[in-house]
Each structure stands twice: as C-alpha cells, then as structure tokens.
C-alpha cells in the first residue's frame, strides 16, 4: 500500500525527561521516526519536555514544542496546530499514556485527529493486564497463574491459593515501578501497597513466580497488510525474576534449539497479529529450561529499550520502519536501508554475538538496595559485539567504565566462600563478577547454576575465560595464548596485570606480533548480500572490512552508557559535533558503545565503530583510520579521561590541549592558574592523607566541601560541618592516597551561577548565563537553572563575563567550557571549570539558537568566531524566561536519600519556558512530574538552623490558604510566631504520626531539611522516603520551596481580609 | 590439532580439527540460520556438501534424539567459527563434535567464516577440501579443480524399497528423492496414511496404491540428473493431487516443460521472504537449494507462478493450470526455520478432499 495521502501533518509525542526505565532510546526512536515522516513530506509537529535531545532540534521536526507532556498542554498544542494525525507509539510509556488520555478526554475526536500505527484499543488490550489475560486465554497462549488485585486483601487471598513467591506488577507503569517479588507476607504488604499507589489505575497484577525460567524476548514488526517479521530474538543471561532492563542480555538466543525458537517465534507473531499492531512490538516470554512449556510474560505494543537494542544489534532501524508503516507503507514496499538492495520485509540474520550489560547508579547511591528484581534500577546500558560470547561479554564489561575490565570484583579476593555464595545467590548488579571469583576458586559450574539459575552454557563460557586466565598467567607473552586471549575479549589491562607489565608493553608486544583486530560489518544478512553500511565492530580474525577512505577524517569519542552525571546531553553534543565535522568537509568517525543513543545510529556519521571506549580500543581504530585528530570534549568525562592515554601514544587531541585540560582539572595547577589570572576561588587545598585533610579544614574553617579529585557529577562529594564528620567521610567515602587525593574547600553560602562559553583561543562567546534557584551546595545538575539570570546586578554580570573570557583565554580553551561560580557576599568566586561540553549545552543552544557544539567543533577544526560572525562576550539575551528543572528517579531506588546536596542525584531534566518566571517554573515543575495544587496542606519539619527561613515560607503558605502541619518542635516555633499549625506526632510517638499523614495523603507538599549524616535510620530519611513511596513532593531545599511558593502565589488570588478602619 | 580448509580458487583457511579425522572433498555452501544445525547437517538435500555456518557459535544446544532429518547424514564436512564443546539444553544427548565423530564427518573450526561467506558470495559455491596441514596445497587445488562430483546423489539418499508409515487419514504416496523427516512429520500430524516409495518408482506402481495424493519430496543435486522421474510425474499429475517440494518442485517444473539452472550461491537459511502473488502477503520460509526454475522457461498455458522470492524475484512456487498440482521451491515443513508455510500441508489435504468430492468419492478414511 502506498503512503497515506489523507493526512498532511502528524503530531509525535516524545518521552519527556530521562528517568530509570525510559532513557535515550526514545530520543533515538523519536529522531528516526520524525526524520522518516519528514522524508515522506509530512509536516511533523513534536512535543517533548526534554531539551537535551536531538529530536527537539528544529531540523528534526517542522514545529518543535518543548512543553510539558500533560493533557492540558498537549491538548492546547493540538487545538493550536490541528494535526491530522498522531503517532503515539514512539515516545515510550509516556507517549502511549498521553495518547490514551487524549483519547479518553475526547480531544482527539474533538479535533479530528487520527491515530496512526497501532490502534489505541489494541494498545489498551496489550497494556491492561486483565484484557491481556483474557486475550491470551482466547488465543490459547499460556500465561502464569495470576490475578488482578485492587487491594491488599485481594492479594492475600491470591497467595493463599498459589503460595509464595509471587510477582507484583503494577498496571500502566514503566520500568516496573513499585513492583517486586514477594517471598512472604511482609513483602506482600509492602510491595502491593506501593504498587497500588504507583499504578495510575490502582491495579496490580499478582503472578505466580516462574523465577528460574529462561527469559526470552522477541522484537517483532507488522504492517497493515499483516506481514509480520521477527527482527531479533534475545536471551537474558539472568533468568526470569530480574527485570529485562536489569538483565545481561545476549542476541541472538544461545541455548534454544530451533524448535524452541520456532515455537516462540510462532507465538510472538500470533500475538502481534491478533493485537493488530502496526509497527514495532516487544514480546517477553519465559521458557522452562526442562521442557517445551512456555509462558507469555508481556507485550509492549510500541518501540522500547529492547527495540533500540535490537536495532543496534542487527542494524535494522525498527523505529524508522515503524514510522513508515504508520504512514501506510507495507514492509515489502520499503527497501532495507542497510543493504539498499533487498527489501525491509525480511528477518535479519546475524553472524556475531551481541551482549548488553546494564549500567546501574549504585556507584553514586551507596546506600541503595542493589538487589535486582522486577523493578528496573539501571540508568543506562552498554552493548558489545564479538564473534564469540566470551569476546562480546568482556568487551561489554570494559565498556561499563566501572573500573572493572574482567570477570573479577575488587573485593573478590577478600571474601570467603560463604560470602561469595551469598553474593551469587542474591542477584545484585555485581553477580557476574562474583561468578568469576567463584570459578577462579574452582567452584563447579553446576554449583553456581544451583545458586544463580544461570544457564550452564553461559557459566561454561565464563569458566573458559577463567581457565584461559590461568594459562596466561603461566605463559607470559606467548603468542598463541595471547591471540587466544584477545579472541576471547581480554583487554590489555588484564593481560598487563597477569604478566606484571604495563598496558603499553602489552600493546606494543601485541601489535608487533601482528595480534591486532580486524573490523567486521554489521549488515543484517550475515554477509549474504552486499551492503554499504558504515557500521563496524572489532574482532580478532582474518579479514578486515573497514577500509580507510581517501578523505581526511576526524574521530569523535562518544560518552558511553547513560549514568547519573553523564546523560543524553553528551550524546546530543556528540551528534552535533559529527554533523559539524561533515559540514567542514571531513569524514566523521564515531566510537561509542551505548545502544540507546542517536550517535550509534549508523546513518549519523560517516563511520560508526561500536566499540568500548578504552585507550586500547580507540588506539586500534586510530591505527587503522589515521585520523587528523581526536575530539574528546563532547563525550563527557568518558572521553576526557582517555585524552592523556591517547596523547601518550602520539594521538593528536583536537581543540583544548591535554595540558590545558589538565590545568583545569588538576587542582594545584588550576589554583596556580587562577592566582596568575587574579580570579578568586573558595579557599581550599589538596589533601593526600587524612591528617592533611584535617589540618586544611582547620585552617580554612568549617563548613568545608570535600571530594576526590577528577570526578564526575560530584561523586562522593559532601559538605561537612565539623571534624567528626570529616573523619567519617575520609574513612568511609574515599580512600585517600597520594594517587587519589581529596580536595578540601571552604563551603561558601551563596548564589550559584553557571556559564557555558565557546572559545577559539582569541575570542570567547558566552551564549548565556544561568542562575540557580538553589544556593551553592546543591549540585548544579540537581538545581533549577534560570535563564536569563534575574537577581544579579549589571556589575556582577560584567564581572562574570570578564572572568569567563579571561578563564577561557588563560586556560587556552579551544572549544567549549563550562564554569560554575558562586556569589557570596557580593564577591564572585570560581567553583570549577569543566573544559568540555556540559549538561547545559543543549538547553542553552535551544534557547539562544547558537548551535554551541557545532560552533565549538568548527573552532576545534580551525575556524574562528569572528569568521563565523560571533563577537566576544555575552550573546544578546533572549526574550522570556527559561528554566531547567531536574528530574529524579527516586521511586525506583529504594533506600536512597533524596535530599539534595553536592552529589548529583537526578537522572534527567526538563525545560519550562514562558513569559514570566512563575509560569516557566510552573511548566518546568509539572513537566518534571510534580503535581502542583493551589490549595492543600504543607508539612514542615526542618532543622533548627532553618527555622527562621521556614517561618517566612510558612507565613506565605498560610497567606494563600495552605494549611500548615508540623511536628512539635517546628510547630511550637511557628505558633509562637502567630501561625496556625496542626501538630502531628513524630515518628514513634503515640497516635497518628507524620508517617500516617504522608501515607494517608493528608499533606500535598513536604518540606524537610533534617539531614546531616546519611544513615537511613534517621527520621528525616524515613520522612523523605515515605513521601517518595507515596508520590508526594518532598523538598529538601528551602530555595526550591520558595520558588514553588512563588508559583503558587501567582496561581491564586490573594485572600487578605480588609484592613480594619482606623 | 590444526587442519585446513582449501578452496578450488586456492584460498586456504587454517583452523582447528573437530569431528572425524578423515579428509574430505565436497561443494562448500553457507547456511545463515543461527539455530537448526542438527537439521541442516542431517538434511539429505545437502548430500555431498561441506556446510559452513555463518553464525559463529554452532552446537550450543547439542544434538538431540528428535531433530534429525534423516537417519544417516550425508554431508561431507562442517565449517564453523566455534563448535560448542559444552552444549546446554534439556534435550541434548551429545555434543556436535561427538556426533560428527560418531558419523565420521570431519569438521574445522576457528576460521573466519565471514570471510569465507563473502568469498562464496562473490565467487559462487566452490569445490573445497578439509585436510591436514601436511597436504600439498597446489596438488590439492588442481585435484579439486579436476574433481567431478557424482550425479547420482538422489539414488544414494533415496529409499531402496517402499515402506509404509501407516495412518487412518488420506492415503499419500511420498516419492523419496531424499525426503526430510519434516515432510513425513507434517503428513503424520495430519493423520495421513503414508507410503514412501523410491525415486524411480513407476507411475503405475504408485497409482496402484490408490493414493489420495502424491508428494514429490526434496532432495539433493541437479534435477537434470533425475530425468527418469519425469515420465512418472507427467502420468501421476493427471490422476491425483500432487504437492512438490524442493527438488520435487524442480522436477515438477521439468516434467511440465520448464528448464532449471544452477544459482550462483543458492538460498540456504531459516527465513527467506517469499511473496504470495495471489494475496500479496510475505511468507518467511526455510530454504535450501542450489538450483532454480529458469525464468522465462515457463509455459504460461501450463503452469502459473504462485510465489516469488521477495529479494531476487526467483520463482518459488508453481501451480498447474489443469491439474490439482502445486509446488514450492522452499521447505514448507521448516525443520529448521520458519514455520510460516506449514499451512501448505493443510492446503494439500484440502485439495485432496476437494478432488475426492468432485470425483464423487466418499472419504473412506475420515
């Protein structure tokens, strides 16, 4: 069928901010889809609240709305734009849920908007647990014994029938929010209660546990003519019981015979056909390891994280094809974009093994519960391709950038057998590494299988890795064994350690012995047809398929997996850099390992190498491609960290030199540079020992800010108020030594300012200055940033511009830099300079229209600002107010303290823009998922030092009709100052306590500053977690509270009684 | 132990030995399925071939009792990147290397099978040898270039005597050109009363069994080498419904005046898209063939084309204009690969039913 001509304009809904369970994969899908629709000549209207995305670039869609994805705002845009159709299946669960709401509210009907692709009724049938189960019964497809419950009582009744363990899955949530496995009645109590709260329809599915079954996924597509294909099947290394987003996944399936594959293929195709899906769909199945018995776990009637993975694993662009199908095409009419010679109606054949490993945020959240279950906890993932499973998984391990390069755990050698058994039985993010440790100690794979249920096939492969490791130990620099090690994915770092030499020595020995990788093409067809796709992976075999072109090339390093502190913003900058390189006439080559991103779409760059980002892996590509140089400043800290290793090996780092990078990042050199430039910074020093830290702190005075040097996203950064806390920090949070010093700085209370600038070495363009709502001390990534700044004087602004220009020149920056300032007592201090692209680059680029990554790339390649038409100094300020609001994923991470501090905790961000600050903030906050009620009650529990400030806020809350609740201490204080307060009991007191108030939803907003000390036992912590669990906004910064209060005040009319007549 | 794979163009791949230790010569082809190696290895259609698997890890789920396509595999060798020494699957009863050793089939692993595949793609299928490292390669290459493969493959894999596989349903005669168990399984599943007859059985002998329908099976080699079957086909197609598969399809075409030609590298994989020209829908089919019915050799008054390969447009299905006979080039029984086309067996049963009804016969076996 040819494309639909009854429609001209199409609304695409994005997925909003990055949260756990919904990451960069939807930027990839959305970008592909928008471009595919534009290619067909449709007018594409896009709504997405997340500015850090490629899809919200004005080149991607015809009309881009960075607005909250709420019924209210989307309806407004529909009424204004009057699109002919809507495509709801590309924006993750957010997009789907929004489309359902629009349909239910009658907006689609009112505006005559057709739904493209899968019909909403089909989506409902797949998503609604009850309807889905009925469908499965009608089709005769087995589903695990289960029941929908609406209350705890119903849940108890179910378990009386089936027994434990049971799995709880809340309806209509993403990433399994609020779900889990219950082993007993206590678990049931907790998980069902939170699940019911998390589900927008207050439903949970209780399911008899089939933990231990093989978990298999099929990515399938179907068109309106009922052609249905399997793009890829995947097997989870971790059996059923761990969310697939938290599982190590291999493609294609490894341990299934053809009969099992065909059995599940038939079921998957039967499901997509009976649901009538037009587009992509993910089917999750469980297969008994001992029989042909299988169960359908769930169906996602949309593109998903798994479809992004399947696209990258096979080369088949699922989202692009889903968009074409939605536009009316059938698969047999569309050419396979990879071969260009065959049709898209085919099932990819692959001739390599793909492994995905999730990236979890536990390095940042030490107190978080690392146990994996049905609720996803990973923020991102890495993928690696190899010709054997061993090669593929070891490449994936070193792509994680978790300081682990092998199947080993830093604590491994110190644990006794019993502890290792416990670790493996527990199924945490570290299990893979403990399995390695157990094998190293000679534990039988059958025993490990019993502990973990991991298939013997995989365990045997791990055993082969460990056995090879032993052989290598005994045969240093043995060419045959060395080659075998490389074929099995061993990194040079590991070989160096085994042989007690440096990594460089291994590299040199190896390359001189001819043990170097070749690059194979990802071509969707296992080599059967010719293809021109520039998509490669490295492996140790005979034939190299990646030929160096005759053109001059530039290599760009990507930013690896999405993690807290290094999100999709860096992929945005990477992609723009690639485009700029192409505009400048060079061949752009990219290396990255994140399957979710736009940058790893092979159609973006001239050449894509899907490889780990380590010095070794990058060097191999440099050796082959001989690029003019390497650009490291867009790939976040990942790429920056590689700069010195690359330069040591003779690679040219383009843009800001390594020396200058070091000057900005090395504390002492930085301090010296600043004093030479006469720019002040908070007093501080580098400590190489605990004693030194104490001495420095005594000298500069408490409170002090402490952190390890060279960190990303403020990892392990804390404000300490006294020596006892400092000692605790030094002993627990960091391991200080001469190689890993700790920075101790005076903590200045004041206003934080953030600036991004672009420099060519002579001139410095400042696209914008942002002011943070939260005072210094809250990580910039977790602060609300406001553009343009509102509360700084003309003089201060000039000073900021002056410092920024001088810093950029003084540090000899060529390209981007990001600076954090604090204004304390009317004095401007530099807190830090990041000589690279930053989180705010897409935000500012979109506001100002200055394509910052593009301009910076051109400067790096030798152009000048003047030549490009830019002046030195601050760019003209834009009309309106723009806010960047952080978004957190606390609901998914139990035991994590949500209080804001110097350590970054947010996973994503949204933008709010409007004519006034209050309106922009309102949009930002609701886009971030906060519910703002113009009346209700606020519960205030604050530390003594905050009481004065809290009083002012309480007065204003009272003033707009909000009820004030507080625990006795705070309540007395407020009462004494004439505020009507409802007293609630403290935790542990008789009668209803504030925990009850929170659970019963009696407060609409919670203000809590009881921090200090991160022990979860503390009451403050309990209050904060309880509010997260119950979905009530809890503010831990009085500045955020004041900003929200401002919004509330602007929403309500004043209610002051008339003054008494004199 | 090292071992080499030598191609007739002189290319040498050095790898590790597994399976039988003997030396072998055969025609090298590649198969693109990531699963189904047991079926491929035991498929009689692959007689005389050295099979290279494009998927790099073969043997992961071992060899089981149930998934053979013949009792005695007739391939000449197996080439893989890695042969699994430790299979894992509940049905596995031995490893692939052990099975090949048991069946005296040599294998070579550890070679760059993607390089090999790309070579075959550009040069077409070639003659090849698997041999020890001591072999003089120059002599071997000239030997390879000179070697003539046998033309009696069908005779070598076909049953020598008729045998029954009783059922209470439709009486079906399967003419065995190298029949896969998969075809018999599908007929058995539908209750058919099957008699398998040797490839050279005469039409009269077949019709004497009073079948409701006849299946011309798959098989190895060049259809031109089995011309003795053409008279039989011409005779039986007039009498009873006929369903021809693979080599059977090519013979059916030859019997009706078409020509067949050898393809450059053939189709071997689990999931080839084929377009049904009547419905416009695409079926995913398991395929394994080196020859095809020549485009333009079809007399449109006799045969009509029912389906074509989506990508190279090659002929994948035919139907007789006058008789209830139809054929497909692919393998509707799957085993291994996509099961999308299994419904063709239902269609065959339906055709037999309709035929019986139109002839006024009562279905005696129902």
From the list A230, A252, A457, the residue facing B88 with the nearest CB is A457
A477 near A509, Cβ under 8 Å? yes
Residues B29-68 pLDDT 10s: 999 999 999 999 999 999 999 999 999 999 999 999 999 9
- Token pair 């702190």 in the structure block, residue: A697
Chain A environment of B272 (Cβ under 8 Å)? 346
Instruction: Report d(CA A392, CA A415) in Å as an integer.
Output: 28
User: Which residue among B88, B113, B284 sits closest to A255, beta carbon to beta carbon?
Assistant: B88
Which helix H or strand E contains A913, and what residues bound it? strand A908-914
Query: So what's the pLDDT on residue A729?
Result: 86
Confidence of residue B366 (pLDDT cuts 50, 70, 90): very low
CA pair distance B127, B9, nearest whole angstrom: 9
Q: Which residues of B touch A257 (CB under 8 A)?
A: 35, 38, 61, 64, 67, 89, 91
**Cβ A757 vs Cβ A817: under 8 Å:** yes
**pLDDT recorded at residue A667:** 79
Interface of A with B in 967-1026 (CB under 8 A): none
User: For chain A, which ranges sit under pLDDT 50?
Assistant: 1014-1016
Please answer whether residues A253 and A216 qualify as being in contact, where contact means their C-beta atoms are separated by less than 8 angstroms.
yes
By Cβ distance, the residue of A269, A342, A389 closest to B57 is A389
Q: Does residue B365 carry a pLDDT above 50?
A: no
For every residue of A414-481, DSSP letters joined together read: GS-HHHHHHHHHHTBTTHHHHHHHHHHTT--HHHHHHHH---HHHHHHHHHHHHHHHHHHHSTT-HHH
- The answer to whether the Cβ–Cβ distance between A542 and B112 falls below 8 Å is yes
* Residue numbers in B near A541 (CB within 8 A): 112, 114-115
Parallel/antiparallel/unpaired status of strands A353-359 and A249-251: antiparallel
Contact A258 B335 (CB under 8 A): yes
- CA proximity to B344, closest of B117, B186, B127, B199: B186
CA distance A389 to chain B (A): 8
- The predicted pLDDT at position A1014 comes to 45
Q: Which residues of A touch B336 (CB under 8 A)?
A: 258, 262
b/e code A223-259 from CB counts within 10 Å (16+ = b) = bbbebbbbbbbbbbbbbbbbbbbbbbbbbbbbbbbbb
Q: For residue B359, give how far its alpha carbon lies from the nearest alpha carbon of chain A (Å).
A: 36
CA-CA-CA-CA dihedral for B98, B100, B102, B104, to nearest 10:
-150
Interface check A800 vs B, CB under 8 A? no
Yes or no, beta carbons of A291 and B90 under 8 Å apart: yes
Q: Which of A227, A260, A262, A345 to mutate to test the interface with B (most CBs of B within 10 A)?
A: A262
What pLDDT, on the 0 to 100 scale, is given for residue B360? 66
- Of the partner residues B66, B84, B269, the one whose CB lies closest to the CB of residue A349: B269
Report helix angle A456-474 to A431-440, nearest 10: 60
Q: Are A24 and A352 in contact (CB under 8 A)?
A: no
> Which of A331, A342, A527 shows the shortest C-beta gap to B54?
A527
* CB pair distance less than 8 Å for A345 and B310: yes
Determine the distance in angstroms separating the CA of B354 from the nearest CA of chain A, rounded to an integer.
Answer: 28
The beta-carbon neighbor of A528 closest among B32, B81, B82 is B32
CB atoms B273 and A332 under 8 Å: yes
Q: Which of A237, A333, A526 to mutate to test the interface with B (most CBs of B within 10 A)?
A: A526
Contact A346 B310 (CB under 8 A): yes
A426 touches A241 (CB < 8 A): no
A225 touches chain B (CB under 8 A): yes
Most A CBs within 10 A among B29, B30, B32, B34, hence the mutation to make, goes to B34
The verdict on A229 touching B (C-beta cutoff 8 Å) is yes
| pLDDT, tens digit, 9 for 90 and up, residues A859-914 | 999 999 999 999 999 999 999 999 999 999 988 887 888 888 888 999 999 999 99
Q: Give the pair of three-digit tokens for residue A928.
A: 């971030």
Q: Which of chain B's residues have a Cβ under 8 Å away from the Cβ of A266? A: 339
Question: Under DSSP, is residue A159 helix (H, G, I), strand (E, B) or coil?
Answer: helix
How far apart are the CA of A910 and the nearest CA of chain B, in angstroms? 43
Pairing of strands A1005-1008, A1034-1035: parallel
Percentage, residues of chain B above pLDDT 90? 96
What residues of B are in contact with residue A545 (Cβ under 8 Å)? 118
Closest CB from A266, A351, A388 relative to B54: A351
Entry pTM: 0.94
What does the pLDDT read at residue A522?
97
The nearest CA of chain A is from the CA of B325 a distance in Å of 26
Contacts with B282 from chain A: Cβ below 8 Å: 227, 331-332, 345
Examine residue A252 and say whether the peptide bond preceding it is cis (omega within 30 degrees of 0): yes
d(CA B360, nearest CA chain A) in Å:
37
- Chain B residues with beta carbon closer than 8 angstroms to that of A226: 281
Asked if the Cβ–Cβ distance from B336 to A258 is below 8 Å, we say yes
A194 close to A298: Cβ distance less than 8 angstroms = no
- Are residues B35 and A261, on separate chains, in Cβ contact within 8 Å? yes
Rounded to whole angstroms, how far apart are CA atoms A637 and A618?
A: 15
Q: How far is CA B65 from CA A696, B40, B99, in A?
A: 75, 15, 11
Give dist(CA A883, CA B143) in Å, integer.
78
Structure tokens at A954: 């309480």
CA–CA separation, A482 and A476 (whole Å): 8
- Pick B32's closest partner by Cβ from A254, A341, A526: A526
* Sheet strands side by side (includes A982-984): A982-984, A963-967, A937-941, A1005-1008, A1034-1035
- Given this model, what pLDDT does residue A1015 score? 46
Per the prediction, chain B carries an average pLDDT of 96
Of B115, B310, B335, the CB nearest to A332: B310
A137 touches chain B (CB under 8 A): no
Q: In the predicted model, is pLDDT for residue B364 greater than 60?
A: no
Q: How far is A349 from chain B (nearest CA, A)?
A: 6
Q: Which residues on B lie below 8 Å from A526 (Cβ)?
A: 32, 54-55, 114, 117
Size of interface A-B (CB pairs under 8 A): 152
Q: pLDDT tens, B156-207? A: 999 999 999 999 999 999 999 999 999 999 999 999 999 999 999 999 999 9
> Which residues 257-286 of A have a C-beta within 8 angstroms of B?
257-259, 261-262, 265-266, 269
Shortest CA distance from B313: residue in chain A: A342
Instruction: List, in sequence order, the alpha helices (H) in A733-793.
Output: none
B39 → chain A, closest CA residue: A258
Q: Which residues pair with A311 in a beta bridge?
A: none
């Amino acid at each position: 069928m040819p494309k639909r001509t009854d429609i001209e304009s199409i609304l695409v809904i994005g997925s909003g901010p990055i949260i756990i369970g919904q990451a960069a994969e939807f930027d990839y899908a959305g970008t592909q889809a928008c471009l595919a629709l534009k290619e067909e000549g449709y007018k594409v209207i896009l709504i997405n609240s997340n500015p850090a995305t490629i899809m919200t670039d004005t080149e991607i869609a015809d009309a881009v709305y960075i607005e909250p994805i709420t019924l209210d705002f989307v309806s407004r845009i529909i009424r204004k734009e009057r699109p002919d159709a809507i495509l709801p299946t590309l924006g993750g669960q957010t997009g789907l849920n929004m489309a359902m709401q629009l349909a239910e509210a009658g907006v689609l009907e009112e505006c005559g908007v057709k739904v493209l692709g899968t019909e909403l009724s089909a989506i409902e049938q797949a998503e609604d647990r009850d309807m889905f189960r009925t469908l499965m019964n009608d089709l005769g497809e087995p589903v695990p014994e289960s029941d929908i419950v609406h209350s705890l009582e119903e849940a108890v009744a179910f378990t009386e029938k089936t027994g434990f363990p049971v799995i709880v899955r809340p309806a209509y949530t993403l990433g399994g929010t609020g779900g889990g496995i219950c082993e007993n009645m206590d678990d049931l109590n907790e998980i069902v209660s939170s699940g019911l709260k998390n589900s927008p329809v207050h439903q949970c599915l209780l399911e008899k546990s089939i933990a231990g079954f093989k978990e298999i996924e099929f990515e399938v597509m179907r068109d309106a003519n009922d052609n249905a294909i399997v793009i890829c099947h995947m097997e989870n290394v971790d059996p059923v019981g761990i969310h697939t987003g938290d599982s190590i996944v291999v493609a294609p399936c490894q341990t299934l015979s053809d009969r099992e594959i065909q059995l599940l293929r038939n079921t998957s195709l039967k499901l997509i056909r009976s649901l009538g899906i037009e587009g992509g769909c993910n089917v999750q199945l469980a297969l008994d390891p001992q029989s042909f018995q299988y169960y359908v776990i769930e169906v996602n009637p949309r593109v998903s994280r798994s479809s992004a993975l399947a696209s990258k694993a096979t080369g088949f662009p699922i989202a692009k094809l889903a968009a074409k199908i939605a536009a009316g095409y059938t698969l047999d009419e569309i050419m396979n974009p990879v071969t260009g010679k065959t049709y898209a109606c085919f099932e990819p054949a692959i001739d390599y093994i793909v492994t995905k490993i999730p990236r979890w945020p536990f390095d940042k959240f030490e107190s978080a519960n690392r146990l994996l279950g049905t609720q996803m906890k990973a923020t991102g993932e890495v993928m690696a391709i190899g010709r054997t499973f061993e090669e593929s998984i070891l490449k994936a391990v070193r792509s994680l950038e978790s300081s682990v390069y092998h199947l080993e755990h830093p604590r491994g050698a110190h644990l006794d057998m019993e502890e290792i058994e416990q670790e493996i039985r527990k199924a945490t993010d570290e299990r893979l590494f403990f399995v390695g440790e157990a094998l190293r100690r000679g534990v039988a794979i059958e025993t490990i299988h019993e502990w973990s249920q991991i298939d013997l096939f995989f365990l045997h492969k791990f055993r082969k890795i460990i056995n090879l490791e032993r052989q290598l130990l005994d045969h240093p620099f043995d060419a045959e064994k060395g080659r075998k090690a490389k074929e099995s994915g061993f990194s040079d770092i590991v070989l160096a350690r085994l042989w007690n030499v440096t990594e460089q020595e291994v590299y040199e020995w190896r390359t001189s012995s001819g043990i170097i990788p070749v690059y194979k093409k990802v071509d969707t067809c296992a080599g059967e047809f010719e293809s021109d796709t520039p998509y490669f992976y490295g492996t140790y075999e005979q034939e190299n398929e990646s030929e160096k072109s005759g053109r001059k090339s530039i290599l760009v390093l990507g930013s690896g997996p999405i993690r807290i502190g290094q999100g999709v913003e860096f992929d945005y900058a990477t992609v723009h850099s690639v485009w700029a390189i192409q505009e400048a006439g060079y061949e752009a080559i990219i290396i990255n390992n994140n399957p979710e991103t736009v940058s790893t779409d092979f159609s973006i760059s001239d050449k894509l190498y899907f490889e780990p980002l380590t010095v070794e892996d990058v060097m191999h590509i440099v050796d082959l491609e001989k690029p003019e140089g390497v650009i490291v400043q867009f790939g976040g800290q990942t790429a920056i960290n590689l700069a010195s290793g690359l330069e040591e090996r003779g690679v040219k780092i383009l843009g800001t030199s390594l020396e200058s990078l070091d000057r900005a990042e090395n504390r002492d050199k930085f301090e010296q540079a600043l004093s030479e430039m006469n720019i002040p910074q908070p007093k501080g020093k580098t400590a190489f020992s605990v004693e030194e830290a104490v001495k420095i702190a005594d000298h500069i005075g408490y409170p002090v800010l402490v952190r390890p040097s060279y960190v990303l996203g403020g990892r392990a950064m804390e404000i300490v108020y006294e020596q006892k806390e400092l000692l605790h920090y030094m002993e627990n949070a960091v391991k200080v030594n001469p190689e890993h010093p700790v920075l101790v700085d005076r903590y200045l209370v004041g206003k934080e300012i953030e600036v991004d600038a672009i420099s060519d070495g002579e001139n410095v363009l400042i696209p914008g200055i942002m002011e943070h709502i939260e005072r210094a001390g809250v990580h910039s990534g977790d602060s609300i940033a406001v553009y343009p700044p509102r509360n700084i004087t003309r003089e201060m602004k000039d000073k900021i511009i002056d410092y920024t220009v001088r810093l950029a020149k003084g540090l000899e920056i060529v390209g981007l830099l990001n600076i954090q300032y604090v204004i304390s007592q009317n004095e401007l201090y530099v807190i830090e300079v990041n000589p690279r692209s930053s989180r705010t680059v897409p935000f500012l680029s979109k506001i100002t229209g200055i394509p910052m990554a593009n301009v910076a790339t051109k400067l790096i390649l030798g152009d000048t600002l003047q030549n490009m038409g830019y002046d030195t100094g601050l760019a003209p300020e834009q009309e309106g107010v723009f806010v960047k609001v952080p978004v957190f994923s606390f609901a998914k991470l139990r035991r994590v303290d949500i209080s804001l501090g110097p350590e970054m905790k947010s996973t994503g961000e949204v933008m709010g823009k409007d004519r006034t600050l209050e309106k922009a903030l309102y949009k930002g906050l609701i886009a971030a998922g906060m519910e703002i009620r113009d009346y209700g009650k606020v519960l205030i529990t604050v530390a003594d030092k905050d009481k004065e400030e809290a009083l002012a806020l309480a007065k204003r809350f009272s003033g707009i009709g909000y009820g004030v609740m507080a625990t006795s201490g705070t309540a007395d204080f407020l009462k004494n100052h004439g505020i009507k307060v409802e007293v609630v009991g403290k935790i542990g007191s008789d009668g209803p306590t504030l925990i009850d108030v929170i659970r019963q939803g009696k407060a609409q907003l919670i203000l809590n500053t009881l921090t200090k000390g991160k022990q979860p036992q503390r009451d403050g912590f309990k209050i904060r977690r309880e509010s997260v669990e119950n979905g009530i906004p809890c503010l831990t910064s009085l500045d955020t509270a004041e900003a929200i209060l401002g919004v509330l005040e602007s929403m309500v009319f004043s209610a002051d009684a008339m003054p008494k007549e004199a | 132990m090292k071992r080499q794979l030598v191609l007739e163009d002189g290319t040498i791949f050095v790898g590790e030995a597994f399976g039988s230790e003997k030396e072998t010569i055969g025609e090298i082809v590649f198969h693109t399925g990531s699963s189904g190696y047991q079926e491929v290895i035991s498929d009689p259609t692959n007689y005389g071939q050295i099979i290279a698997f494009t998927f790099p890890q073969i043997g992961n789920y071992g060899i089981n009792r149930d998934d053979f396509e013949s009792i005695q595999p007739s391939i000449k060798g197996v080439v893989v990147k890695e042969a699994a020494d430790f299979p894992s699957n509940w049905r596995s009863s031995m490893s692939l290397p052990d099975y090949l050793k048991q069946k005296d089939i040599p294998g070579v692993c550890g070679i760059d099978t993607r390089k090999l595949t790309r070579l075959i793609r550009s040069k077409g299928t070639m003659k090849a040898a698997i041999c020890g490292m001591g072999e003089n390669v120059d002599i071997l290459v000239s030997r390879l270039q000179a070697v003539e493969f046998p033309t009696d493959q069908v005779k070598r894999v076909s049953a020598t005597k008729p045998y029954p596989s009783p059922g209470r349903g439709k009486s079906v005669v399967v003419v065995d050109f190298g029949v896969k168990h998969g075809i018999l399984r599908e007929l058995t599943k539908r209750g058919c009363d099957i008699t398998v007859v040797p490839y050279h059985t005469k039409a009269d002998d077949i019709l004497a069994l009073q079948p409701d329908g006849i299946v011309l099976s798959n098989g190895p080699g060049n259809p031109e080498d089995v011309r003795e079957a053409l008279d039989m086909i011409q005779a039986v197609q007039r009498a009873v419904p006929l369903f021809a598969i693979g080599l059977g399809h090519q013979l059916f075409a030859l019997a009706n005046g078409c020509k067949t030609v050898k393809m450059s590298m053939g189709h071997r994989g689990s999931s080839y898209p084929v377009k049904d020209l009547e419905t416009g829908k695409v079926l995913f089919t398991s395929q394994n063939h080196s020859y095809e019915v020549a485009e333009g050799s079809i007399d449109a008054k006799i045969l009509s084309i029912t389906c074509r390969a989506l990508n190279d447009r090659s002929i994948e299905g035919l139907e007789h204009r006058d008789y209830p006979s139809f054929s497909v080039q692919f393998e509707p029984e799957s085993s291994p690969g996509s099961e999308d086309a299994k419904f063709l067996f239902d269609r065959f049963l339906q055709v037999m039913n309709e035929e019986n009804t139109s002839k006024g016969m009562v279905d005696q076996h129902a």
